[in-house]
A and B are shown apart, each in its own frame.
Chain A
Amino acid sequence: MSLHTLTIAELARKLRAREFSSEELTRACLARIDAHNKPLNAFLTVTAESALAAARAADKRLAAGDAGPLTGVPIAHKDIFCTDGVRTSCGSRILENFIAPYDATVVARLKSAGTVMLGKLNMDEFAMGSSNETSYYGPVANPWDRSKVPGGSSGGSAAAVAARLLPAATGTDTGGSIRQPAALTGITGLKPTYGRVSRYGMIAFASSLDQAGVLARTAEDAALLLEAFAGFDPADSTSVDEPVPRYSTLLDAPLRGMKIGLLKEFFDKGLDEANAACVRAALDVCKRLGAELREVSLPNLPLSVPTYYVVAPAECSSNLSRFDGVRFGYRCKDPKDLIDLYKRSRGEGFGAEVKRRIMTGTYVLSAGYYDAYYLKAQKVRALINGDFRRAFQDVDVLMGPTTPTPAFAIGAKVDDPITMYLNDIYTIGANLAGLPAMSVPCGLIGGLPVGLQIIGPHFSEAKILNVGHLYQRETDWHQRIPRGYD
């Protein structure tokens, strides 16, 4: 049986029916990682031994009839999530030897749901990147074409799921870091509402934007995972105390009468024509399912990238001040005094893009420039938020492309930060407004996948998963497997 092509929903059913054990499934995943990881560079750490122990424990629960829907299902975490006793590098040299002393809430909840952690996944350094090329541990390759990037920053998660090394993985999304790599690797990626999932133990990049989510093959699998780890956590001061719906039981509501807004600003001159055609075909499918389409304009949305590149670096410069070479992380050799220790530990420990963002943030927050940059950006952020709020008075969800183009070549954009930043032009808006958004595969262009983005109002995860699920029942883009990985 080819276990690697099964979804979580199928795996869970078969595990409970005892068609195979979690240990067999875990060994199958570990064998695939062994066979395929090297050229992909998706896994930074493989925790084979503890995975097998967790699998055997899951098998006992399954045998005792004491299993939940995720018991025995293998997953892996983006290396931004703290995992007790396991190296957590965040893709950075500065945390090369950091063994997390506790579990992130997302990790702890998935553990107690009975999932089996296979290891930790590569990512852009501190989640700052859109191509997984800023990782200190080397770029990740896109399984559809290994000369192409998988997107970022959750590039390891995306590549591993797309290559069928495992059924799903966690990720984080600050400006598109779940949705963009999901689109570029042909999988399903969900960024929940800000505050829906605890940020505790998730290494901070930009705290008003960061949100944990999931990269999976199907909307149904994303629903199964999200309902296991979403929900209030007193350890995160911005966690929202709202009940978590059973997303996986709400996937089949008919689309009849649903109002879908086409984001006019997303169909701009930067959008690849073939990509636009794939998105339009996807919208036609929704229309066939009974949804009503109308064009919606969010006039301030084109300002989301410049807004983001003030707000996110500002928050990053503050968050990353904790890496000082004193309490944890890399320390430079022979510091001559404390300032030298700080400067060289950070200068040597951080990569070029992280330093660029820290400096951008330091500048926009510095005396004399705060009003012109940071305050201005927070005001424009309010305008963008207002645009979304008005749009959701008329429509249930918004749709458009996830990215302007399919995956680009490794190395193609590394020398030009602005061009790289513009990869996230369609994803950043949802982060600025704290909205849930999902990318589902909607086509292939020259053998490379592209995604349809579905954005909903705050706490409408059930709705966007519902739309994604019904779309995936009508199409098979999410079942396409890159050549060599079937």
Chain B
Amino acid sequence: MSTLTRKEVEAIAHLARLAIGEAELPVYVESLSRILAFVEQLNAAETRGVEPMAHPLESQVQRLRPDVITEVDAHVKYQKNAPQVQAGLYLVPKVIE
């Protein structure tokens, strides 16, 4: 399981929406395989009956807040950072033909 193929790395890159150049691919095949082999030492730990730890502070529960609007509309300011905006809308390449 710990050695990835080129095809698998291409599939992961696609899932992660990352364009990886041809020349870079072998580097990732090698380093990702090594990382997975490295983390496989976790298998040596006996974890039967152990509750997975999802929060570093066990006693904390996710806080709820009243369902009221607290944000002000600042879209003009926020959209200053957008690559392409028109009439207050973010532009992307055509999605529906």
Interface residues in chain A, defined as those with a beta carbon under 8 Å from any beta carbon in chain B:
97-99, 101, 193-195, 208-209, 234, 237-238, 240, 300, 303, 306-307, 309-310, 317, 321, 324-331, 335-344, 346-348, 350, 352, 355-356, 358-360, 362-364, 366, 372-373, 375-383, 385, 417-418, 421, 431-434, 458
Contact = CB atoms under 8 A, between A and B. Distances in A.
A378 B17 contact: no
B77 A303 contact: no
Given A347-B19, A433-B56, A376 B43 contact: yes
18 contacts: A97-B81, A101-B78, A208-B56, A303-B41, A306-B41, A325-B83, A326-B83, A336-B93, A339-B17, A340-B19, A343-B14, A358-B18, A359-B13, A363-B32, A373-B39, A383-B47, A432-B56, A433-B56
Contacts of A373: 39, 42
Contacts of B31: 356, 417
Nearest to A372: B1
Given A303-B41, A303-B42, A362-B16, A195 B60 contact: yes
Contacts of B42: 303, 306-307, 310, 373, 376-377, 380
Given A98-B81, A325-B83, A337-B93, A355 B57 contact: no
Nearest to B95: A338
A397 B38 CA distance: 30
Contacts of A378: 52-54
Please report whether the interface of chain B is mostly helix, strand, loop or mixed according to DSSP. loop
Given A329-B81, A331-B84, A379 B53 contact: yes
Given A99-B81, A331-B84, A380-B47, A356 B32 contact: yes
B87 interface: no
Nearest to B8: A363
A267 B55 CA distance: 28
Q: For the side of the interface on B, what is the size category?
A: 35 or more
Contacts of A385: 53, 56, 58
A317 B16 CA distance: 8
Contacts of A326: 82-83, 90, 92
A450 to B, nearest CB: 26
Nearest to B45: A380
Interface in B23-54: 24, 27-28, 31-32, 34-36, 38-43, 45, 47, 50-54
Contact of B34 (A343, A348, A350, A417): A417
Nearest to A300: B45
B74 interface: yes
Given A310-B42, A383-B47, A417-B31, A327 B82 contact: yes
Given A309-B38, A347-B20, A382-B53, 10 more contacts: A101-B78, A194-B57, A237-B62, A306-B38, A328-B78, A343-B19, A356-B35, A379-B52, A417-B34, A417-B35
Contacts of B81: 97-99, 101, 327-329
A363 B31 CA distance: 13
A50 to B, nearest CB: 18
